[in-house]
Amino acid sequence: RSGRCEKNFDGSANAMEAAEAEMLWKRSFKMCNFKYTTILSDGDAKLYIHLQNLCVYGNDDLIQKEECINHVAKRVNKGLRHVLDDYKKRGITLSEKKHGSLTDVVIARLQLYYRKAIMENIPDINKMKIVIYATVRHCGSTDQNPQHSNCPSGNASWCFYNRALAKGEQVPKYT
């Protein structure tokens, strides 16, 4: 090799992704008698729509779109940071150093809880919603207003409050 980059595509990164996917999907059946049935997505539906419109395997074989859970959880983080920035522009601080504030640590915790709620409750979307709301309320709890009624109970609960109650221990105070 001469160390030079050998360009083999003209166009945007999105166009290149679509062209490569189209090539892979079309040749999968011709060369291997294999049909892809599902595409794992980062939330951007352009490639999925492109493949659907191609009808690579005919009109009867619809492609399923699955969301990458890590990307979904990352969007929660991004959305919360957007809220912080929006409020900051209006002169409102949500990230003070007191309990109940929307800090980087709380955002990271909510992202983790959100991902966990999805993973542990697939395919029950209603249960996912309940657990997601429970985590938000959990993170907003205070000593004066504990909000753990929707958190899981028992010795193995991720909720320190309900775990302490189940073990008969004194509930730790918020710091």
For 14-51, how does the pLDDT look when each residue is reduced to its tens digit (9 = 90+)?
A: 888 888 888 998 899 889 989 888 888 776 778 888 88
Cα 141 from Cα 86, distance rounded (Å): 24
How many residues are present in the chain? 175
pLDDT of residue 168: 92
In the prediction, which pLDDT does 6 show? 78
The residues of the chain scoring below 70 in pLDDT are 1-2, 43, 94-100, 174-175
Using CA of residue 140, residue 142, residue 147, residue 151, what is the dihedral sign?
positive
What are the residues whose beta carbons fall under 8 Å from the beta carbon of 95, sequence distance 6 or more?
84, 101, 102, 103, 104
